[in-house]
Amino acid sequence: MTEHVEVIVIGGGQAGLALSYHLTRQRQTHLVLERGQVGEAWRTQRWDSFRLITPNWMTQLPGFGCQGDDPDGFLPGKDFVKYLEDYAQSFNAPVRSGVRVTAVRQQPGEGGYLVETDEMTYETPVVVLATGAYPKPKVPAGSTTVPADITQLHSSEYRNADTLPPGSVLVVGTGQSGFQIAEELHESGRQVYLSTSNCSWIPLRYRGKHVIWWLARMGFFDRTGDQLPSPYAKFACSPHVSNRNGEGDVSLRQLSERGVSLVGHVQSICENKVTFAPDLEENLAKAEAFATQVKQMIDGFIVKSGSTAPVNDSTDTSRASSARMGAGSPLSLDLPSADINSIIWATGYQPDFEWVHIPVFDETGYPIHHRGVTDFPGLYFLGLHWLYRMKSALLYGIGEDAAFIASAIAAGKR
């Protein structure tokens, strides 16, 4: 069975819905295909206590600012899912749920595209891939050597401490997910070993405001991809900021002071032995250097703009211990001796476009485009990191890219 649709949008998350909003305003017939429900990844790939790390005032999908009376608060995951549901309902977004796209191909001889799903095929002159920045969980190859009696989860599969077997937990990765999950597990009473990475860190507040508020005022999120030092910089780990309870921030050293055991990055796992690199102090220094750089940028902006701000914020907990930690960090652990029965791989995500059978990707698997517009007429991307600006994959910026793509679609049809 084949159905013709003027525009197919693949993905019913914030990117696909933002584009649907603009297409609806243009009276452009279109269909949004979603493998699950609206905001599926936020429903099924986040832990129970997950919160957004951007304040509510940055939740700015087009035509639908964040609801509520707490602009500086941080939405829990379940509330954000409700926000997306309400957004879709606000303009009757034409979302077809429970549709898994299996392939996108060029239509032979006629132009346009074939979008194949489990149940039927769609013919369309326009396809927008809005399936998320990096939808596929990434797990290191070394995970295959972990003993079978050790529970392994990617951070997208973790829900809460009670779902893990008794004992200690090794969390691998100090991006946003690894940091917050390690903090939660420690507060639940678990002994946690946290394998650090080269991810940066920023405090939650500085000089009377959220750090993100300052960065937005400074135009930090408006930087374009051509300002990156290299094309590979767009894949860099995003800075983490502890905000598990929507309150104050915590640094890696402060987690250590509370009882979390910090180690270097995982080098290998052989039988019951985990070996770590001797790079703990280096990783901590990198994280703290970025935080210092950000605070210096804010200080400079305050001086240059003549803004009024306190010299220091009493809630700023970015103080770093002067003690070196690397010397006392173990370079290996015996899993049974450390009572480690669970490993959580907070090792990020990667692109997943294997189902797109069109030669529009570079050697890294990243789409070749300009602001989401490809050299293939009618083929667009939306929601990628650094699609155009740093904020392209953020709720704070996705609306601008969606408006641009909607205009490009209209111009192409003309």
DSSP string, 223-243: -BGGGSSSGGGGGSPPPB---
Identify which of 385, 384, 365, 374 has the alpha carbon closest to the alpha carbon of residue 409: 374
Residues of the chain scoring pLDDT < 50: 314-323
Domain ranges for the chain: 2-135+351-413, 138-345
CA distances from 386 to 135, 235, 252 (A): 15, 9, 27
Q: What pLDDT shows up at residue 230?
A: 80
Per-residue pLDDT tens for 276-330? Answer: 999 999 999 999 999 999 999 999 999 999 988 898 654 444 444 444 555 578 9
CATH code for the structural domain at 2-135+351-413: 3.50.50.60
pLDDT of residue 242: 67
H/E run at residue 105: strand 101-106
102 vs 356: CA distance, rounded Å: 8
Q: Which helix (H) or strand (E) holds 269?
A: strand 266-270
Question: Full-prediction pTM beyond 0.95?
Answer: no
Of 367, 373, 369, 361, nearest in space to 404 by CA:
373
Radius of gyration of the chain (CA): 23
**What pairs with residue 210 in β-bridges?**
205
Give me the pLDDT at residue 414, please: 66
How many other CB atoms are found less than 10 A from the CB of residue 301? 17
* The pLDDT of residue 320: 44
pLDDT at 142: 84
